[in-house]
Amino acid sequence: MSFLSLGLSGFFQRALDELGYDTPTAIQAQAIPAVLEGRDLLAAAETGSGKTAAFVLPLLEKLLGHDGLRSNQVATLVLVPTRELAVQVEEAVKAYTTYYPRRIKSLAVYGGVSINAQMQAMKGGCDLMVATPGRLLDLMEKNAITLDKVQHLVLDEADRMLDLGFADELQQVLSKLPVQRQNLLFSATFPEEVDALINRLLFNPVNIEIERENKLPDTLIQRPIEVDKEQRTALLRHLLGEMNGAQFLVFVASKRTADNVAGKLNKYGFTTETLHGDRSQKERNHSLATFKRGEIQVLIATDLAARGLDIPLLPFVVNYDLPRSPADYIHRIGRTARAGEVGTAFSFIDHESDAHFKLIAKRNHLNVTREQIAGFERSTTPPDDIAALGKGQPPVKGKRKSKKDKLREAAAREQATRNNPASGKQAGAASAPSEAASIWQKATLKRR
């Protein structure tokens, strides 16, 4: 089977040959003809299966005969959850259109960079836009973008968008689109929120490789390693040295940990970059670019990078900290062993994360054997503070108190204090902000 046999033009085959795309993947073979027919599409595929090409290529084919656009108009809209994925998809568009017979205008729209430049870029319209929902709405509010001419809509990583709290933004975008359009929805998992979106968005869709359980490629080797918490960085240094300069993508739980681990590795001569939300978009782009070019050995990232990033021939992934969500474990380790290549995923398991890794293995139906590395063996008993407090796992996604729960509890405590003044603060302290107000202010500042 060739890409030509799927209904694509010869100039695409020429570009794909240069990119090393020999034959269509399973998702491409099924999705491309359906998209060319104008059908709505609901697709789920294993990580690294080539789904970006599965929707970009046929949409570019359909844009061949598209009428001209006026300023601010968009013909094809691709919505993605992160800035990195927006850049990556738009880079794929440029690569696939090397021999496109006419000038095609594509644009990646995301926050963290100048909005004025994006407004200027919309002059003359846009054939294919890849956007994060928040920045797209910002541009719409400034009348820099109008969606009334959109013919094709793609939601890529739909579950991730909803997980990141984009439900309201998605609804606002959908309300501005024309009723008659083609809708393509890609999602790795299908929680109830995605099911509701499917029912609202798609009409008689073609279902492709819908998998309710995550699968991993046979070429991915999982190595869960038991190690004491304070020995994780030393173990990471050992693995880096043992693998003779190979590249590692290391996932951590926080921005602070990312910077701390990078600093310690730098002292031992390892080249590192970090990828997290406190870095500017320019810095994040630089980190990714240098890692992809092989100029640094270690990229240390928060879950910002867990999905969508395509790093060719990445041999090693490390869960320095386990992910809070069991589903994110699959997305993290799926950054390696892509497109048939062999890859290894290490997971560090200290006493505190013991029970949580058991949950991850149970939820993802993993049959893996833990190991210990000589010289870094985990202590046989947990530290006293963990044993005494009955700890065993960090908060599991969905179990932490929500902002509303915290506000309700704070309001209840304040009411109890008013009913029993003797138990509260002395008179004269009433001018201080209430506990509930403080929680609300902190949550608002965090969103900003």
Q: Looking at 61-65, 157-161, 182-186, which range is the least confident one?
A: 157-161
Q: Looking at 11-15, 126-130, 324-328, 423-427, which range is the least confident one?
A: 423-427
Strand order in the sheet with 220-226: 220-226, 343-349, 316-319, 248-251, 298-301, 272-275
Tell me how far apart the alpha carbons of residues 27 and 254 are, in angstroms, rounded to a whole number: 34
H or E stretch covering 17: helix 10-19
SS3 state of residue 250:
strand
Q: Which pLDDT does position 339 carry in this prediction?
A: 73
- With a cut of 50, say whether residue 45 has pLDDT above it: yes
Q: Which pLDDT does position 180 carry in this prediction?
A: 95
For residues 388 and 208, the model is more confident at 208
Tell me how far apart the alpha carbons of residues 43 and 208 are, in angstroms, rounded to a whole number: 5
Mean pLDDT of 316-324: 96
SS3 of 202-213: the string is CCCCEEECCCCC
Give me the percent of the chain exceeding a pLDDT of 70.
Answer: 82
Mean pLDDT of 365-377: 95
Q: Which pLDDT does position 215 carry in this prediction?
A: 67
Q: Which pLDDT does position 47 carry in this prediction?
A: 55
Asked if residue 248 lies in contact with residue 239, where contact means CB atoms within 8 angstroms, the answer is yes
Mean pLDDT of 294-304: 91
Q: Which pLDDT does position 280 carry in this prediction?
A: 82
pLDDT per residue as tens digits for the range 122-139: 988 999 999 999 999 999
Q: Which pLDDT does position 310 carry in this prediction?
A: 74
- With a cut of 50, say whether residue 429 has pLDDT above it: no
Tell me how far apart the alpha carbons of residues 157 and 81 are, in angstroms, rounded to a whole number: 7
Residue 175 CB: number of other CB atoms within 10 A?
Answer: 8
Q: Which pLDDT does position 445 carry in this prediction?
A: 44
146: DSSP letter: B
For the chain, domains (ranges, CATH) are: 4-208 (3.40.50.300), 220-389 (3.40.50.300)
pLDDT per residue as tens digits for the range 411-426: 666 666 555 655 444 4
- pTM score above 0.85: no
Strand partners, 186: 43
Amino acid identity of 34? Answer: A
Q: Which pLDDT does position 294 carry in this prediction?
A: 93
H or E stretch covering 248: strand 248-251
Q: Which pLDDT does position 385 carry in this prediction?
A: 60
Q: Which pLDDT does position 26 carry in this prediction?
A: 87
Give me the percent of the chain exceeding a pLDDT of 90.
Answer: 59
Tell me how far apart the alpha carbons of residues 309 and 288 are, in angstroms, rounded to a whole number: 9
Mean pLDDT of 313-321: 95
- With a cut of 90, say whether residue 306 has pLDDT above it: no
- With a cut of 80, say whether residue 222 has pLDDT above it: yes
Computed on alpha carbons and rounded to an integer, the radius of gyration of the chain in Å comes to 24
Q: Which pLDDT does position 443 carry in this prediction?
A: 47
- With a cut of 50, say whether residue 23 has pLDDT above it: yes
pLDDT per residue as tens digits for the range 48-61: 678 899 999 999 99
Mean pLDDT of 204-229: 83
Question: Computed from CA positions of residues 78, 81, 82, 83, in that sequence, does the dihedral angle turn out positive or negative?
Answer: positive
